[in-house]
Amino acid sequence: MPSPFRITIVLLSFFTLLAGQQQDTTTARRDTLIRITPIPELGSVDPFGGVRTVIPEREIIYTDYRSLYDVIARMPGVFVRDLASAGQQNQLFINGIDGTNIAILVDGIPYNDHNTGTYNLWQLIPDAVERVEFISGTEAIFYDGRSGGGAINIVTKNFDNNRAVTRLRYSQGVAGYTQTDAMFAQNIMNGVNLSFALSHYGFGSGKGSANYRARFINSNTDSWNFRSKLRYNITNSFNLSLSYSYDRTWTGLHGGVDLLTSTSLFDGLEASVLNSESFEKQFNSHYQLTAAYFPFADSLLTATMSVYSFDRLREYRDEENRGLVTNTLYVQRDLASLGRGTKLQLFSHFSGVRFTGYADLKRVQSQDIITAGAKGELFSGSAVTVTGFGTAVQRPNHFTAHAGARGIFSFTPAVQMFGGYTQNLIGDRQGSMSSAANMVYADRSTETFSVIEAGLQVNAGPSFTGGLTAQMTTETNPVLFDTLTDFSGTFGSGWYYFPEGHRVSSLTAFGHITVDEFHIEGSGTILQLPSWSRNGTTLTVMPELTLRGSIYFEGLLAKGALDLRAGVRGMYVSRQTGMRPLDEFGVWIPSTELRFGPSGTVDLFAVGKIGDAFVHLIWENITNTDYLLAPVYPMYQRNVRFGVSWEFLD
């Protein structure tokens, strides 16, 4: 594969030759940082107002994030099973459906791992993000044909600045946690902008010695990420952008605290871990070249073509050379994923009709996969919106298709009622699974979904927003991983196949009240889960009740010199048996080790902007509560994190 630096040099030379043939038409000097998308909504999966839930950059900044898991966790219906260790892949749920059926996209390009079906959001740096598009419900499956749980599109930043701009961020916490990001951006010639950044986060120290520990033995991590983007606005209606990212991560995988040998679960000095030797190395590189065309300045029509490739390698090691306590195992397993593809997208909005269409042709390993979708929204006056969509996926020897519709009726400009339905049209509902020897990869091509939802949303100006959504998702031919044959499914090489399917029902409510500069917001989700058993134990794989809320002040202080958001927030989850990671394969399995919960925590937080700098301070778990979100990965007791980020010219 060509070196990214060679590609950059070639393109820079090409752009320099072009620039020499044209006159600089810049009419205004840009002395401050300007983040623009010359082509409207470049990177969006559904621009021109099609995505109904967007997390903008300001909300990301005012979330005292460690990773994008912290940003996504605030959304209604979301539950994140946090492992309390930087770098380790948390488990993500939306309305009771896990991350194997949640699409992760970056600038519209799918990022889910070919082997596990999920993606570790620690590997996507929040400082690179312009906004997050969050889609759940009946329309979610439209975005990749398999995302019955939801779709999350990460739109990365674009810059246009004649003077050099630098952004720095540093954050620090307990147990040796640090996070650093340094970014630089500048126009290098007329219409051409180059940005690049280097990011690092670490947890603990001494990964190569007998003292390799963070909070617990073998829970440390060390990660580096480099990213760059070269964008060329050839004309006002035609843009090119080339982006590249590379990350390298070393993470200790301790496997959780050992219940039988630990004196205390929550004291790192008295807790024994299940594995003091296993770790993973990850090497990921992503390339994307996108051409965007905006032909008519007086209408909303955009076409994009993206050529992309990715090269991912996960090395799992359990070796007898790292600790004083050994487990007599010697395992070396490599999971590789190499792919390339082309994605065509068309977006338009003409006189009450909004259309979105795409076709994604990719080869992953030796498999050719074609995904295509089309969606149309019809606006009948201001009271009714009707959406119809369809998506199809052609995989080797298998074809699936889904279609659905969604309607919105506005009683008043402030009150809307909505409902929708998605149904599988084509797919082998009793299909067979291909070999998944040693659990390296389970063929999910026969998984299909039907989703029905109904709800009410209120938007009474700045004083109140809220809503209530009921949803029922039926998954046919779902695949679950486990290590036992005593499970309520058909066993096959480490995964379980449920040809009869299972059903998850959810009821989600959210609200936000504003009184002057004070805010009260919260959300709650109630789930009705399938009845599963393992080893004679009835499972509750995730909490049936999840609550989140916060009360905070947001406003200007010190004669406008300080823009502050500060308050208190809390979280509550009900009793569960949970799921735990099977580290060797990077998948999650049901757990019967213990039934834990209910769990909850209360945090104090403050994020303020002083001049060009943001300062954040969080005091987590102020009540010093012992709690778990995954068995057996104890969450933090009382601890403090703080940091600062700032942007400056030249």
List the Cα angle 376/102/471 in 5-degree steps. Answer: 70
- Asked whether residue 336 is domain-assigned, the answer is no
Residues 448, 475: Cα–Cα separation, whole Å: 6
What's the pLDDT score for residue 189?
87
Q: Which two tokens stand for residue 387?
A: 């959406």
pLDDT for 16 equals 38
Contact 610, 621 (CB under 8 A): no
Residue appearing with tokens 């400056």: 648
In a domain, 262, yes or no: yes
Instruction: Give the H/E segment covering residue 58.
Output: helix 57-61
Q: Does residue 575 form part of some domain?
A: yes
Q: Which of 175, 183, 182 minimizes the C-alpha distance to 202?
A: 175
The reported pLDDT for the residue numbered 19 is: 38
Q: pLDDT-based confidence at 267, cuts 50/70/90?
A: confident
Query: Is the C-alpha dihedral spanning 394, 395, 401, 405 positive or negative?
Result: negative
pLDDT confidence of residue 14: 38
Arithmetic mean of pLDDT over the chain: 86
Total Cβ atoms within 10 A of residue 543: 24
Q: For residue range 138-177, list pLDDT tens digits in order.
A: 999 999 988 999 999 999 998 888 889 999 999 998 888 9
**Number of independent structural domains in the chain:** 1
Q: Is residue 356 part of a domain?
A: no
pLDDT in tens, 484-520: 766 666 655 566 666 667 899 999 999 999 999 999 9
What is the residue range of 514's domain? Answer: 4-275+285-331+341-349+375-649
d(CA 619, CA 272): 27
Q: Which of 7-21, 173-187, 561-575, 586-600 has the highest mean pLDDT?
A: 561-575
Q: What is the dihedral of CA 499, 538, 525, 385, to 10 degrees?
A: 10
| 234-259 pLDDT per residue, tens | 887 888 999 999 999 999 999 999 99
Task: Pick left, alpha or beta for residue 170 (phi over 0 → left; psi -120 to 50 → alpha; otherwise beta).
Answer: beta
User: For position 533, what pLDDT does the model report?
Assistant: 84
H or E, element range at 16: helix 4-20
- CA-based nearest residue to 493, from 453, 441, 545: 441
Average pLDDT rounded to a whole number, residues 281-285: 96
What was the pLDDT predicted at 401?
Answer: 94
Query: Is position 368 within any domain?
Result: no
Structural domain contains residue 74:
yes
Q: What is the widest separation between alpha-carbon atoms in the chain?
A: 76
For position 228, which CATH number holds?
Answer: 2.40.170.20
pLDDT at 38 over 70: no
- Within a domain: residue 365? no
Q: Is the pLDDT of residue 25 over 80?
A: no
Span 413-436, pLDDT tens digits:
899 999 999 999 886 544 444 333
User: With contact defined as beta carbons under 8 Å apart, do 145 and 394 qualify?
Assistant: no
Tens-place pLDDT, residues 106-120: 999 999 998 888 999
Q: What percent of the chain has pLDDT over 90?
A: 58
Q: In this structure, is residue 395 part of a structural domain?
A: yes
